Structure 1
Amino acid sequence: MNITVVGTGYVGLVSGTCYAESGNEVVCVDIDERRIAQLIEGKAPFYEPGLEELVRRNVKEGRLHFTTDVSYAVAQSMVSYIAVGTPMNATGAADLSAIFKAAEDIARAVTGYHIIAIKSTVPVGTNDRVREIVNRVAKHRIDVCSVPEFLKEGSAIEDFMRPDRVVIGSLSDQARAILREIHSPFVRTDNPILEMDPKSAELTKYASNAMLALRISFINDMANLCDAVGADINAVRRGLGSDRRIGSSFLFPGIGYGGSCFPKDVQALIHSASENGLDFALLAAAESVNMRQKRLIPQRVKQHFGDDLSGKVFAVWGTAFKPRTDDMREAPSLVVIEELLRAGAQCRVHDPEALENARKYFGDRVTYHKTNYEALKNADALLILTEWNEFRRPNFQRIKNELKQPVIFDGRNLYDPDLMKALEFRYYSVGRHPV
């Protein structure tokens, strides 16, 4: 199948590359000439495990192509996926201008029957609005469908190639049959292809992310209650997750969720509910809990060292919002580091992949270090903000020797409090007794 993917951001590039890997001829389109030039050379513009190797292989084997010319790409394709950004605007609504522009550009370029499949996360009703746009300008029949993505940064290739489910929202039997064929190689283990109307498909994506956000905020609030009453959140989590009706996924306490999806999608769903006269109080509460949780570490630091942190130096391990990505959008580290800087502290920052992105946020207000141990030198305490694997089994004696005093604020509960006590660290974690 000849496929066009409009947008080479996270979703578009991963999707286009995986479609090519399954044997399709794929042309990825972007307006960013530098990015396209970089991709033609086989270089991914962001970090995702395994992606760059997959891009290079499919470019070399002639299945994956990159261009800035949408007309050229669409003219030789039957299916065009729209995977452009839908950032949150000032009201919390999704900005759909890039979606509408891409749809119009595709509609003007088609040379015969065509399918536009919206892969970007969009509010319910977007499919209808796109259909109105293409019907105004297209000279050939176009079916507009919704095929939302369910990718996790850090494991996106695996998620795409072996999805829990594929969702196809379409009003056209012809489009459904073609999209089913494109996605059938990815569900050979009998995971379902779920066919539904476009509105239900649009809401399925938001509902999935909202539910996961709710679980994270719930377990974080439970962790705060454990702190208040002297319970252990790990014991509570195990008891909770052992219930088959609940399960243990996304029930790990920490310092809040971030990234490009959860914060934006929760806001967009709240906004959509409001537009339809509904008060989605449950999601609003989850969002409030998440914002409060991001301030937990600065609060703990000030409780230990005092409100005035002038002259204090802190080593920060991890700035990405999660491991195995360089993405810092809405990351808890942004809130933590800003609050420490406002209180007069200095920060020595390390992240295995996100240091260049950290520079874009903090400039020369912090120092950047290539290794985690280098960041420890002459620091008053260590702050762990991202659960990278290389942080899980560190050399504790070296940490102790490098720090001015053996104090760790662990926002991801990486270490055993009993071990920290035995090693004579002052150790603060989330929902467990400080030692």
Structure 2
Amino acid sequence: MRRPLLIVFIFLLFISFIYTNNRPLDNIKDKERITIEGVVKDKIEKDKYDQYKVEKYLVNDYSRKLDIKIGKIVKINGSIKSLDKMNFDDFNYGRYVKSMGYKGIIAIKRYTTIGENRFYTVLGKVKFSLRDTFRYLYKDKSDFINSLLLGQKENLTEQEKEMFSKTGTSHIIAISGLHTGVLCTMIAIIIKGINKFYKLLILTIMMALYSIMVGFSPSVARSIVFVVIMYMAIFLEEKRDGICTLSLIGTFLIINNPYIIYNTSFQLSFLATLSIIYFYKIINKYLKVGIISISLSANILTWPIMYYVFKGLPILFLVGNVIVVPVIGVIMNLSIISIIIFQFSVLISKFLAYLNKSIIIVVYYLLDKLAMTKLAYIEINNPKLVYVTFYYILIFSYMIYRELKIMKEQENGLQGYYKEY
């Protein structure tokens, strides 16, 4: 069998769907009083409330008067809302919360601090120090930098989010394989001269810490683990298969949380990666332009999700990605270098930030002009599931046909297992 891990992953997808479909999300009475204890792992400042991540719960402070520090071990008392009661129009928010790995949302009434976790305390201080330094250096463009490097896209304006959405470049404000690839490359260059084992160890530890700091969302988990496994294969000089690696990661994530299959971030992340792995070489064989081939291949399996979930299609996504993708690595590297140099020279750091901000301003200007083009984006008022189903049947039929053809060629000794991927 060519890819047994892929078969296991697909099998688990079906099992998870059967297990979770029409099953109550919880057995909690709506607005029931609850007391929990745990470590505050993150804090998100939203428009109307502050949200804390405490163990497996999201804790909302609607008063915005509480300032609970990351790393504190707290005892929280409040009311919990039943996830089954959290349906808004056609969006099942309760299932989305479950897909993120949380048991529920608590409206906090009061809390007491009972201890401290030094690991999360240090990590929290580093995160907010980075955020505040970026705000000092980049001013009005700091929210973009913080979304790019820290995953804090909640502070972006609706106009900015709409601009990225209409130009098909929303993936740059959500930490994905593009971001982790740039970070891993930068780390690998910095630690270039050391032993392979220690290089792999340092890379793995740093990416693990980074994933915890930015929030271990499905897309972050997928991208970081995928990149680390790929680097592990390179360092160990072993052959690697992207689809098997992706299937292995997906299998672990589904076993850990069956509801993750309903997470749009998980769906887009996995489908985009699978699409690039499978279709990139096929397309690039004819186009010979890497950035266009990657953009086209990534969208082959993700367009139906954007059509059905987001009710719209970015038609000029190729132009948007040609504008953004080539400079993302430059922007990220300059951002990191500027914040490192900030510790030694504020003047040099400000100069680098000025150069970086100039690039961002140009990118914003071009994307804004593109988003205003009438042909840039098509809104879908009433997306049909039957179209999505038919599309995926056609695409996956082609992929299966091609896999069977390759397997037959392998049997005849015409093609090696790793020749294509």
Specify the TM-score bucket, using the shorter chain as the normaliser. Answer: under 0.3
TM-score scaled by structure 1?
A: 0.24
TM-score scaled by structure 2?
A: 0.25
Which structure's residues are more often helix, by fraction? Answer: 2
Task: Return the structure number with greater relative CO, CA threshold 8 A, min gap 6.
Answer: 2
